[in-house]
Structure 1
């Protein structure tokens, strides 16, 4: 069942889709060679924006929730990807310890964890959940809105291993983005595989680092296809708000980004009013995201900036979304595990505009048509006429973002830095 999709089908997006489909053998070979040189992040989700004239990632999450929004038809692909990932890391793995967010009591999040458990159980692992919440001192059953429940248990640290009572895993899967800092229980686990690594958490990670890596990846991919990398890249700048000149620096950066976007719009004959998105350089769960169309407007936001965004922000080219599901503004979110696309959904918000952040209270979710396989597009069809073709393109851009995350984590790996020193 494919949701009714309304998208802008004029301009360069059609050319981009056609070029991606025509270059499918070269594209898949390029990814294959990249994954020979770079290790995929264990899993990720990527928020995309389809403006009709460009398609670009605007956020990459390395500790994705939302697995409960994947359809049952998508789960076999996820199980196969989980098997491939585990076989590369710990082929003899029997037990998997999942560490969720500390405040793991939201029913939707618990349903996401339950789906993860189902995926890894079918991949051949015993799955249990260990919590960093110090208030939980014994196995605790947490109920979900659908009537099911999930048990979380207190973690037990023994020398270099993290266990549960009666449960000793060789692999630990983090589903906690460490935005509150790196807990001491997770440090120095030299005898176990910790996935993703600690430096993937927001204690260390920065969005600016990710999008610099993405720019590099996109330029190389665009060269392969012979196209302008701007068609798949959101321009951005990072800004330090510390000090008296922080606001001035933010206005300057916003004005510069708006000027660059205007030039691109003029180059492609795009009749849109440019805007930029100002957001924290670290994970903020969509909070404090601001849309700015004129740098002068930033003065009126001055009092709220430090509270909402912190002191390090990025000014990102705003990519409008021209997709609709049931008349509401929508954006696709692609889910990946290892190097495979496993599914996705539309994030839909009936009360937000095409230039606003949709990751906000009131959002709903409609599965993408990945059940028909994102890897089986239909070459030769008119661009935009086939859902599998469009979703294949979403998967390509999602994989580019995941590859960028691999570049990013390699560059910030403390072990590699120590060896280099």
Structure 2
């Protein structure tokens, strides 16, 4: 179930894409076998960068909040995928409790919740919305700004289950990334009430470095299987702990990590004859929304940051202080849409790619973070009628280019499965480290 998307594509082609295209039957079987041992998260989204010489994920979100940006003609596939995902967790489920973010004033986000609710309802579920927001003390209607509204209700705890009045759901689906911490009301739920994703997938616990360590594992096997250099689909990275930007603690460790990653990138650039200047992205090891991110081209830039840069890097969503930093290989984008730098965002439900969109930012360069003010989104509609890559067509045909993006998205979802299993809390011992 791999969708093929239509959009304007430009830029040089990588031999990588032809290799992936030619190996598609073997790749599909490989994924099928992997999912048997490593069930994917309920849903995910993956930011992908195509540099022309490599295609790699730069972020994986386990609480995707842009379903409203998907093209309407992707909905049938999303509904089918959601139906399969629900069957995996509670085959006879009749009801699902969806817990959104506390963004009661962000109408674009509320439109995402409405679209997600629509998908879940069409998969055969009664869906109601429960809020973690302490300000929601009764059933509260919210205006989504598109002529529609939704109603959120305060969560209630009944023994070891989460309920709403007259509503005892089999599945509780989080669309709240728990950046503010793990709420007591969600702890210790009955195994018979499926909480998806699990609590340790929230940013209060999860770390990007754990995810990319798991991605290393997945890509190592995949790259060996199709005989490619894993670097072509994998960004280098390093993690730095004990950072305090306000007190200038950890600056030298950050500089050393930047130096190490830059040297590794330069070695690959030399090997492949790439003449661009390597760079890294330093970002908070936990959190989202494009906060706590900066581009770095030399180790010296991490020492003696000015006040503005320290303030930018020190705090992320929910006002949380940054003490752990991911230093990740910068992957520039060759893609432009409507005159702006663009990157595809691949959306998955269970093991299936269900659609995607381009994040576009005309105010940002090809080597900058596009998840920033000024960004817009362009849905990617399906190419009809095929559901398989066309090996007789050019590798840059939409049907084939986006097959490769779908492979990257599924590798990231597989990595998320490995990550969540490796970091799952255990009663008898601490979870094994991935990084």
TM-score (norm 2): 0.92
SS at match of 1:153: strand
Alignment of 1:240 onto 2:241: yes
CA offsets, 1:272-329, max 9 Å, x none? 1110000000013111210011111222426444624611001000000010001210
CA offsets, 1:68-96, max 9 Å, x none? 00111101000000000111110110011
CA offsets, 1:89-113, max 9 Å, x none? 1011001100011233310000000
* Match of residue 153 from structure 1: 153
1:48 touches 1:57 (CA, 8 Å); kept in 2? Answer: yes
1:103 touches 1:133 (CA, 8 Å); kept in 2? Answer: no
Of 380, 390, 411, the match for 1:400: 411
SS at match of 2:407: helix
Distance 1:301 1:307 in 2: 11
Alignment of 1:83 onto 2:92: no
* Match of residue 370 from structure 1: 382
Alignment of 1:254 onto 2:234: no
Alignment of 1:317 onto 2:329: yes
* Match of residue 380 from structure 1: 392
Kindly state the Cα deviation for residue 6 of structure 1 after the two structures are TM-superposed: 2.1
Q: How does 1:153-302 map to 2 (within 5 A)?
A: 153-190=153-190, 191-242=192-243, 246-301=250-305
Deviates more, 1:324-333 or 1:97-106: 97-106
Distance 2:202 2:183 in 1: 11
2:74 touches 2:381 (CA, 8 Å); kept in 1? Answer: no
Distance 2:184 2:101 in 1: 15
Unaligned runs of 5+ in 1: none
* Match of residue 319 from structure 2: none
* Match of residue 125 from structure 2: 125
Distance 2:150 2:329 in 1: 41
Distance 1:420 1:257 in 2: 27
Distance 1:160 1:240 in 2: 36
Distance 1:382 1:318 in 2: 28
Aligned structure 1 segments of 4 or more residues deviating by more than 3 angstroms: 241-245, 302-306, 369-375, 415-421
SS at match of 2:303: helix
SS at match of 1:6: coil
SS at match of 1:227: coil
2:218 touches 2:411 (CA, 8 Å); kept in 1? Answer: yes
Distance 2:132 2:249 in 1: 39
- Cα distance change on mapping 1:98 and 1:25 into 2, 3 Å: same
2:73 touches 2:381 (CA, 8 Å); kept in 1? Answer: no
* Match of residue 101 from structure 2: 101
TM-score (norm 1): 0.95
- Cα distance change on mapping 1:103 and 1:382 into 2, 3 Å: closer
Of 299, 304, 307, the match for 2:314: 307
Superposition CA RMSD, Å: 1.8
Distance 1:76 1:322 in 2: 31
Kindly state the Cα deviation for residue 5 of structure 1 after the two structures are TM-superposed: 2.3
Deviates more, 1:261-270 or 1:369-378: 369-378
Unaligned runs of 5+ in 2: 317-321
Kindly state the Cα deviation for residue 58 of structure 1 after the two structures are TM-superposed: 0.2
Kindly state the Cα deviation for residue 204 of structure 1 after the two structures are TM-superposed: 1.1
- Cα distance change on mapping 1:280 and 1:53 into 2, 3 Å: same
Distance 2:129 2:383 in 1: 29
2:143 touches 2:149 (CA, 8 Å); kept in 1? Answer: yes
